[in-house]
Structure 1
Amino acid sequence: METKKVAFYTLGCKLNYSETSTIARGFKEKGFQRVDFKDKADIYVINTCSVTENADKRFKTIVKQAQKVNPDAFVAAIGCYAQLKPEELADVNGVDLVLGATEKFKITDYINDLSKNDFGEIHSCEIEEADFYVGSYSIGDRTRAFLKVQDGCDYKCTYCTIPLARGISRSDSMDNVLNNAREISEQGIKEIVLTGVNIGDYGKGEFGNKKHEHTFLDLITELDRVKGIERLRISSIEPNLLKNEAIELVSRSRAFVPHFHIPLQSGSNEILKKMKRRYMRELYVDRVKKIKEVMPHACIGVDVIVGFPGETDEIFLETYNFLNELDISYLHVFTYSERDNTEASYMEGVVSKNIRAKRSKMLRGLSVKKRRAFYEKQLNTERVVLFEGENKEGYIHGFTENYVKVKAPWNPELVNTLHRVELSEIDDDGLVRFNFTQALVHE
């Protein structure tokens, strides 16, 4: 019997990538061969995202790409958008199956018959039913893996659909996370990135109950002791959940790197209140100060949303100036887009699309300036670089522990190795060149 081929396309966040990887391993166990999305497959699985308007639009384009390669292929949609708007996805020409939040990990149970459907078949749940936890991790390249430790969110931010798409906050058991971390390190992967929807909330709702057996601090304390993992990175953590104890642990840690990604969303307290965020800007300043106090070389990334309802020119400038004065390293800028069934979509003070775009451009410009200033401060210092596996136009790239991106002429022997280097100069493309100071690092 001919081996069936399956291909995956992932939209959105690191969490989606870790889940795609786990689902792909499930297909492999059932005897499927995984191929690239550009190649001919019997099944195409698209893991969707609903955070921005753009992700919705891209879905149709991706379905068309799959159909172009194989018009007879079976197309399945999973992920956040599939949970929020299953009918909309099922109506897209060529889509055969749409699975909601509880069904996506059981996808292989739904595809006994690979013949095309006249209409997309939907298996979706009420999001209240998504109260169990499925652990996952991604191994896409040899260098790093995304390890999921938590899912869902109990926060009620007025712009966000994630609680509707992923359900209540729930966590993996400590044993499971540690076992997954060991499995990853045994495969020669040097860096693990912890991921989830709201990872600072770790310990809540283990297996759907509300028992706080372990905290985020317990989790990172134990992970730091796992032998064989060279680097651990916290992907994104809410400022109100990033406690001093966790910051201090990272500063003393064997494996955790001095890199934090902390969502801010707005530098205006008025807008933060409208967003129903759980902190004011003063707390954010306090978190940045604490990190820089114990780790002056730490890299701090910031999420910010522009064009939220009620954001006047004055309020936007308040955010701009706040970020400009803050000792941070780069920004992830999101242009606000209205999402169905969110409180913000009914708010007054709508900002026009062209003004949203203009503000977004201003903050992206600020991000370039911030990253450059951060890189300049790191010149003439010694750092440890983990090299990536791709040959990009004759260069190999890598990241220092504090997330400075470096480049060197391509050398396959450097792939997935750690080297101590001295950062020497910033190249025209904004990346950093270096001199080797020590061969392979074995911590």
Structure 2
Amino acid sequence: MWQSIRSISSLLFSFAMLMLGQGMINTLLGLRSRIEGFSTETTGLIMTGQFVGMLIGAVFAIRVIAAVGHIRSFAAFASVLSVAVLAHVLFTDPIFWFFLRIVTGFCMAGMIMVVESWVNEKSSNENRGKILSLYMITNYIGAGTGQFMMLLGDPAQFQLFVIGSMVYSFALVPLLLTRAKAPTPSSPKRMAFKKLFLVSPVGVFGTVCAAMSNSSLNSMGAVFGKDVDLTIPQISSFMAAAIFGGMLLQFPIGRISDRFDRRTVLIFSSLLTIGSCFAVIWATGQSFIILLAAIALYGGMSFTIYPISASQVNDMADRKELVQVSAGLLIAYGVGASLGPTIAAQFMGYFGPEGIFMFFMINNSLLVIFTIVRIFQRQRHLESKAPFMPLGGNGMSSKQLYTAAIKAETSSKNENNTET
């Protein structure tokens, strides 16, 4: 186990740097857009650009990796990403910024594919689940810590963009200096969306709903903080509390979903998410400590909906199609993430800053209703339950590792069945 961790330590450090920069830049751009006088709706459209780019990258970035290899492609993506971050200070134009966010999303998708496939190759069937957990903890810690980098400068000036560019560039160093052999690129076929939906309507719908909420919070959470008159340090703490709350509750909720019908757990998680939205809206007029507790509860419940939904799909899928299912879920998540910030911004523009949590309540209410309807329409099959896998709530996919862990678990079960 420890030997495997040492062999991927440089890769995890590169990933931590990526998430550190990602956490800071997302919050910075939301604040800077409002400082520049952009409307809430325009800010939402700008922030949507990253998820559009990630959706495109999920389809096409693998071609770049296959053509030039992992190391060269990672270097190219990181260089372009670093330039894109700096370019924001050249022209203060929402269309230009939207284009830069698309470029950012594409590069992030490519870099994460490189890291994940590499980490996957260095993991064995015996330790892959533990490696995945360590990977996702790195995800949350990096993104959460990145919020506090906002304290290093004034969002109205250019220095934070320079720092963000430096962090992305620094992410190159550990991976470029590693002596580990790069893995062979692979491009799994995606399952048609209609077929994927028929496998588990609840799982796919839950994935889309989770993506809409998660991308909206990551993109517009800082805008909410500014509009309710939080200071920059308070906004950083607010966003970090949501992310760390998600990290803390991933595993307890996951264990519960492994023991009971995931659809029932999904309903209760969604209901608690709705309740936490009411708590955040109420806490806005209370002390900042109460607001932090409320948003931490929201993050803890909301960020579990995606992994529960993904596990539900894999429960119902044919064991031979898990790779295609995983790739299809990535696309489904990208579609939801591309829609979320724009819709959330419309709610905020109409109802005020609390509108984002009204959107979350409606989103989760639809998921609850849909899941209840499906429970009455289809009897749950308990004999083929896939293991719960923790997944990021910040828009970052762990498709490669998630797929490998599922395949390893299935292989292990098949071997045990053969022996008996």
With structure 2 as the length reference, what TM-score do the two structures score? 0.25
- Higher relative CO (Cα under 8 Å, sequence separation at least 6) belongs to 2
User: Which structure dedicates a bigger proportion of its chain to helix?
Assistant: 2
User: Which structure dedicates a bigger proportion of its chain to strand?
Assistant: 1
